[in-house]
Structure 1
Amino acid sequence: MDYELTEEPPTPREFVALRRAAGMGDRTIEAAETGLGNECVAVSVRADGDLVGMGRVVGDGATVFQVVDIAVDPDHQSRGLGRRVMERLVSWLDANAPPTAYVNLIASEPEFYERFGFETCAPTLVGMDRPSE
């Protein structure tokens, strides 16, 4: 199957649907409409025009960046698409993030992200979140 990677965000409906298909937390269409397009960079993966993978870097564009929303449709996993998304995002970070910027992510599969130079920061730092209802 041929996959097309572009540096553009998915539509809000695609974003919500892919997060759901990949077993990630729900987001509303309204939130996606507000948030998408405000990232530093987004990568979308399409097969025959359908969104099957994505990832984004969000942040202030200078001091802090966070890798978020890395997702691949289960029907398209194990084909290197997550790796290709991360390679594109890391390449963008290498070209655009100042050396003193803080770049982070929350990892459900740390081994995957270690391949791209990310390290566990505990016990010095501990990831925290404020769960939504």
Structure 2
Amino acid sequence: MANFKIHERMPTVDEHQILWESVGWGNIHTETSSQSLAHSLYGVVATVDGEPVGMGRIVGDNHMYFYVQDVAIHPTYQGTGLGKEIMERLLAYIKQRRNGGVAFVGLFSAEGKDGFYEKLGFQNHAPHMTGMFTVFEG
């Protein structure tokens, strides 16, 4: 495994853009992402030699509802355990914040990555519950 350095902080707008685009999520509007990052609860960035190679963050109400967002590992570093390390840090943050009560944790998985998240305890609750979303684009 590469010599990763894990930083418990939000990615910068540039780091976020680099990793977002490296995993094929398309182009990102950096003014929007800047505001989104600023209003997140917690973030983790992984670097190698000062360059971003992985990230993840949490959004939500910081008490009962949490959403894992933007877990992205540069393709060169996928399969190295970095994604698991980032997810473990994100989930530890949530467990600490739930104050003994229930915490609902959601996420969307990229195609073909659901097995990774299932190993961390996430599961598809269909047909009894379904995840739904819409996108408003400018």
| TM-score normalised by length of structure 1 | 0.92
Equivalent in the alignment of 2:53? 52
Greater Cα shift, 20-29 or 118-127: 20-29
Moved over 3 A (4+): none
1:34 aligns with 2:35: yes
Name the counterpart of 2:62: 61
Q: 1:60 to 1:26 in 2, by over 3 A?
A: farther
- In the TM superposition, what is the alpha-carbon distance from 1:18 to its structure 2 partner? 0.8
Tell me, what secondary structure is at the counterpart of 2:18? helix
Q: Which runs of 5+ in 1 are unaligned?
A: none
**Normalising to structure 2: TM-score of the pair?**
0.89
Q: Which residue of structure 2 aligns with residue 106 of structure 1?
A: 108
Per-residue deviation, 1:66: 0.4
Residue ranges of structure 2 left out of the alignment (5+ in a row): none
Within a 5 Å distance, the mapping from 1:71-86 to structure 2 comes to: 71-86=72-87
The two structures, once aligned, show a CA RMSD in angstroms of: 1.4
Deviations 1:14-57 (A, max 9, x none): 10121111112432110121111321210100001111000011
SS of match in other structure, 1:36 = helix
Q: What do residues 66-85 of structure 1 show as CA deviations (whole Å, max 9, x unaligned)? A: 01101001111121110110
- Paired AA for residue 3 in structure 2: D
8 A contact 1:41–1:58 mirrored in 2: yes
The number of residue pairs the alignment matches comes to 133
* Partner residue, 1:10: 11
